[in-house]
């Protein structure tokens, strides 16, 4: 496991020098966290337009970067060294079969089962909506 962590760190450090546009990195980390610009702006106490401008900036001052890193729950170094390739490699290596070590990291969610479950919930919601509308029509 230590070797795997070292490989990730090496991958992050070796690919980090390819791009240095901090604003794009902030934007991508924010998106991966499922956060909108408005939410980041509210947490930082600035406007959404200011966040948009930050994300267009190639450089961000250290104080601002520290505040952003706290909101995104990552270190300033993680933002500086962030790359799409490193994220992909981490995800890819996490879900590889390590059966020789008896550490299976395969995703246990069956996508078809999930789709059926969501479909059933949608059908149930439609039935409830129709029953409610029929009840409203009966009152009139």
**pLDDT for the residue numbered 99:** 46
DSSP 34-92: T--HHHHHHHHTS-HHHHHHHHH-S---HHHHHHHHHHHTS-HHHHHT--HHHHHHHHH
The CB-side HSE value for 1 (13 A sphere, CA atoms) comes to 4
96 confidence band (pLDDT: 50, 70, 90): low
Mean pLDDT of the 3-26 span: 63
Weakest mean pLDDT among 21-25, 101-105, 106-110: 101-105
The fraction of the chain above a pLDDT of 90, given in percent, is 45
**Location of structure tokens 């408005």:** 38
Answer yes or no: is pLDDT of 42 > 50: yes
Integer CA distances (angstroms), 63 to 43, 57, 69, in order: 15, 15, 10
**Residues 72 and 63: beta-carbon distance below 8 Å:** no
Q: For 45-77, how does the pLDDT look when each residue is reduced to its tens digit (9 = 90+)? A: 999 999 999 999 999 999 999 999 999 998 898
**pLDDT for the residue numbered 17:** 44
């Amino acid at each position: 496991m230590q070797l795997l962590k070292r490989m990730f760190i090496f991958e992050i450090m070796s690919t980090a020098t390819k791009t240095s546009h901090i604003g794009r990195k902030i934007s991508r980390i924010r998106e991966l966290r499922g956060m909108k610009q408005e939410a980041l702006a509210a947490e930082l106490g600035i406007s959404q337009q200011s966040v948009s401008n930050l994300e267009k900036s190639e450089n961000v001052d250290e104080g601002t970067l520290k505040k952003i890193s706290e909101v995104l729950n990552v270190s300033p170094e993680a933002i500086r060294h962030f790359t799409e390739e490193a994220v992909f490699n981490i995800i890819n290596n996490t879900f590889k079969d390590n059966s020789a070590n008896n550490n299976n990291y395969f995703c246990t969610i069956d996508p078809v089962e999930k789709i059926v479950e969501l479909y059933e919930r949608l059908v149930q919601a439609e039935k409830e909506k129709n029953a409610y509308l029929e009840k409203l029509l009966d009152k009139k």
